[in-house]
Structures are given as C-alpha cells and as structure tokens.
Structure 1
Amino acid sequence: MNILILYYSGVGNTKMVATKIFHELQGSHEATLVSIEDLSTDITIADYDSLVIGFPTIHAAPAYPILTFIKQMEQLENSIPAFLFTTCGLYSANTLRIFAKLCEKKNMITILSRSYRCAATDGILLAPAMRIWSRHEKRLDKKVENDVSVFIRRCNDPVVADIPRFKIYSILNYPNKFFGQRFSPPIYTHKQHCVLCGKCRIHCPVQCICKDDEGYPLFDNEKCIHCYRCIHHCPKKALSLTKKRPLLKTLNDGWNWSSGDRK
C-alpha cells in the first residue's frame, strides 16, 4: 500500500508523531513523509492509496496553515481513506471533527482519528511551572504503534467514514477558544541576547515577522497564529512573552522527542 503522510508542525510535536508513524509503516508499506511547508508539485495526493494527516491543536481548532492547505485543495476525483491525528497540550476539543468535515468535502474519508497529548508549547510559556506542560503522555510510542495497526486494518476493509462525534464538554472551553484566538500576549525581543540570526523570521509559517531598522525581529501580532515556533527555536532564547526577562527554558532544551523525557 502506498501511503502519504502529510503534516504541519509548529514547534516539533506533530513532526515527532508523524515520523513515528512513518517508521511504523516502513518495511511493510511504501510510505512518504512530507511537511505541507515543503510539499513539492511532484507529489500528487491522488496517486496514493491512503493518507495520514497530522497537525497541532491551537486554541481548540486546527492550526491555521493546515486549514489553509485543506481549503485550497481541489476535490479529489476518487475517495481516499485517511487517518487524522492532532497533537495538543491538554485536550483537542472538536479539532478532529472540524478537520474531518473539511476533508470529507475534498473526498478524503476519515476512517481513524486520534489525539496525542504532547508537551504544551503555550502552557510552558504562560502557565506556572508544572511537569505536565513539558511532558508527553505516557506510553505515547506504544499508542501510536497500536493506532497504525488499526489504520492498516481498516484500510484493508471496505471504507467506512468515522467522523468524530461532537464533544459536549468542549462548550466549557468556548471562552478560552474565543479569547485565545483574538487576544494573545505580544512577543518581546530581548536585544541583549538576540544575535540577529533571522531564524525566527525565516521559519515563521505565516511570515508575520520582519526586521526593524536595527535588524531585530518585529512582530505583526494580528497575523501571528500563536504556534510560538520562533520562541522555542530561538538559539539564544532572545524571545519571550514577558517584557521583563527572557526565557529560562523552552521545548528546544535537550528534548528527547522519542521518550518525552528531559536529558
């Protein structure tokens, strides 16, 4: 079976899970792993037998880049079964249902959907220091391995759509979703640490960072999607959500992505 694994990853959690799925499929199936940010015109989705699509949950919704990607896609002539997964800090609410509905319009039929709790890219920056913010869920590798087996089994059966049900408890999260999507703290540059490398600007998925007159990063908060890739990937920890001091730790500090433990 020829399987295409597409993903968008903000800081690295989704890439980690997508890579794990890729390794599980290798050997018994022909698998291709690619980020939507690097997707070339040589890859045609219709040429594949099935799909795996992964993305992070940001404020109880699919991340903006993956939403833009799926909305701009042309509808496939023939239906393709798909395994959808999302990574989230605490819980994903109705993120998978939202995305599965969009996939259905493009003739991509969701036959399996899963949520994986990973290190919280925003929680570690905003909330009081707690271990839960910097760790993945227990036995994550085993869970992914089992889910891949389920996906392959369902691919071999007649395709039956499995759209996630609406989660009633997600209503309790509406205030957080509403205000989180509209009001977020600005990102500050601590110039005494910044080395003007430009990595934050180059790698921003929505190009919301430019340079000021001195060459320091300048942020367009209205365009920012709050993935915080710039903060976590800054080599000198020169960016933070607090004006008074730079970060002490980020998710880029000696992180062992496979085990979920600090080195």
Structure 2
Amino acid sequence: MNILILYYSGVGNTKMVATKIFHELQGSHEATLASIENLSTDIAIAEYDILVIGFPTIHAAPAYPILTFIEQMKQLENSIPAFLFTTCGLYSANTLRIFAKLCEKKNMITILSRSYRCAATDGILLAPVMRIWSRHEKRLDKKVENDVSVFIRRCNDPVVADIPRFKIYSILNYPNKFFGQRFSPPIYTHKQHCVLCGKCRIHCPVQCICKDDEGYLLFDNEKCIHCYRCIHHCPKKALSLSKKRPPLKTLNDGCDWSSGDRK
C-alpha cells in the first residue's frame, strides 16, 4: 500500500508522532512523510491508497493551518481511507470530530482517529510548574505502534467511516474555548537575551511577526494562532508570555520518547 503521512506541527509534538508512524509503516509499506508547510508541488494526494493526517489541538479545535489546508483542497474523485490523529496538552474535546467531518466533504473517509496527550505547549508557559505540563502520556510509543496495527487491519477490510462521536463533557470547556480562540496573551521580547537571529519570524506558520527599526520583534496579536513555536524554538529563550522574565522552561530541551518524560 502506498501511504501518505501529512502533518502540521506547531512546536514538534505532532511531528514526533508522525515520524513514529512513518517508521512503523516504512518496513512493510511504501510510506511518504510530509509537512503541509513544506509540501512538494509534485505530491498528488489522489495517487495514494491511504492517508494519515496529524495536527495539534489548539483551544479545543484543529490548528488553523491544517484547517486552511483541508478547506483549500479540491474534492478527491475517489474516496481514500484516512487515519486522523491529534496531539493535545490535556484532552482534545471534539477536535477529531470537527476535522473528520471536513475530511468527509473532500472524500477522505476516516476509519480510525486517535488523540495523543503530549507535553502542553501553553501549559508549561502559563500554568504553575507541574510535571504533567512537560511530559507525554505513559507508553506513548507503544500506543502509537498498536494504533498503526489497528489502522492497517482496517485498511484491509471494506472501508467503513468511523466519525468520532460528540463528547458531552466538551460543553464544560466552552468558556475556555470561546475566550482562548478570541483573546491571547501578548508575547514579549526580552531584548537582553535576543540575538536578532530572526528564527522566530522566519518559521512563524502564519507570518505574524515583523521587525521594528532596531531589528527587534513586533507581534500581530490578532493573527497569532497560539502555537507558541516562536517561544519554544527560541535558542536563547528571549520570548515569553511574561513581561517580567523569560520562560523558565520550554519544549526545546529535547524529549525522551521511551519514558514519556521531557529531558
């Protein structure tokens, strides 16, 4: 089977899981791994037998870049079975259901969907210091392996859509979702740490960062999608949600995949 693994990753959690899935499939199938941010123009999705699509959950919804990508896609002439996965800090609410319904309109049929709890990109910056914010769920690697096996078995059976059900408990999260999607804390530059490398500006997925006359950063808060890639990938920890101090810890420190702990 010819399998295309597409992903959008904000800080790196989704890329990590997508890469794990790629390695699981690579031995027995022809698999291609691609980020939607660097997607080659010669990749024709319709030519693949199976799709795997991954993305982070941001404020109980699929990340904006993956939504835009799917919405701009042309409807496929023939249906393709798909495995959807999302990475999240605590829980994904109805994120997978939202995305599966969008995929259905493009003739991508969800036959398996999974949520993986990973280190929280916002929790580690905003919440009190707790280990849960900087850790992946236990035995994440084994869970991914098992899910890939289930997916391949389903691909060998007649295609049956499996749209995730609406999660009633997600209603309790509506206030957080509403305000989180409409208001975001400003990102501050600590100039004494900034080396003007421009890495954050170049790699911002929505290009919401520009420079002032001195070369320091200016953020368009209305365009920001709260992925916090700029903060976590800053080599000098010069960006922060706190005006008073740089972040104590970011997710740029590496990860011990086998244990689920951040180094």
Deviation at 1:217, TM superposition (A): 1.1
Q: CA separation in 2, counterparts of 1:139 and 1:226?
A: 27
- Give the Å deviation of 1:117: 0.2
CA–CA separation in structure 2 for the residues paired with 1:198 and 1:26? 35
Identify unmatched segments of 5+ residues in structure 1: none
1:129 deviation in Å? 0.4
Q: What is aligned with 2:139? A: 139
3-state SS, counterpart of residue 236 of structure 1: coil
1:181-211 CA-to-partner distances (Å, cap 9, x unmatched) read 0111000000000000000000000000000
In 1, distance between residues paired with 2:106 and 2:214? 46
- 8 Å CA contact 2:138–2:259 kept in 1: the answer is no
- Partners of 1:81 and 1:109 within 8 A in 2: yes
Give 2:107's aligned residue: 107
Most deviating of 72-81 and 241-250? 241-250
**For the Cα contact (< 8 Å) 2:141–2:257, is it kept in 1?**
no
- Distance (Å, rounded) in 1 between the aligned partners of 2:262 and 2:75: 43
- How far apart in 2 are the matches of 1:204 and 1:57? 17
Report the Cα distance in structure 2 between the residues aligned to 1:255 and 1:97, rounded to whole angstroms: 29
Q: Percent identity?
A: 95
The answer (yes or no) to whether the contact 1:16–1:258 under 8 Å persists in 2 is no
Q: 1: CA distance between counterparts of 2:24 and 2:46?
A: 22
- Name the CA distance, whole Å, in 1 between partners of 2:69 and 2:32: 18
Asked whether the equivalents of residues 5 and 34 of structure 1 are also in contact (C-alpha less than 8 Å), the reply is yes
- Residues in 2 aligned to 1:124 and 1:258: alpha-carbon distance in whole angstroms: 21
- For structure 2, the residue ranges without an aligned partner over 5 or more in a row are none
TM-score, scaled relative to structure 1: 0.99
Distance in 2, Cα, partners of 1:18 & 1:254: 17
> C-alpha distance in 2, partners of 1:260/1:137?
6
* C-alpha distance in 2 between matches for 1:77 and 1:254: 42
RMSD over aligned CA atoms reads 0.8
Following superposition, the deviation at residue 249 of structure 1 comes to 1.2
Distance of 1:222 and 1:258 partners within structure 2: 38
How much does 1:258 deviate? 5.1
User: How many Å apart are 1:125 and its aligned residue?
Assistant: 0.3
Instruction: Indicate the SS of the match to 1:53.
Output: strand
**Cα drift, residue 27 of structure 1:** 1.1
1:88-126 CA distance string (max 9 Å, x none): 000000000000000000000000000000000000000
C-alpha distance in structure 1 between counterparts of 2:229 and 2:256, whole Å: 17
> Residues 254 and 149 of structure 1: is their aligned pair in 2 closer, same or farther, counting only changes over 3 Å?
closer
Aligned residues: 263
Shift of 1:170: 0.2
TM-score normalised to the size of structure 2? 0.99
Post-superposition offset of 1:22: 0.2
SS of 1:237's equivalent?
Answer: coil
- Partners of 1:155 and 1:253 lie apart in 2 by 37
1:72-95 Cα shifts (integer Å, max 9, x gaps):
000000000000000000000000
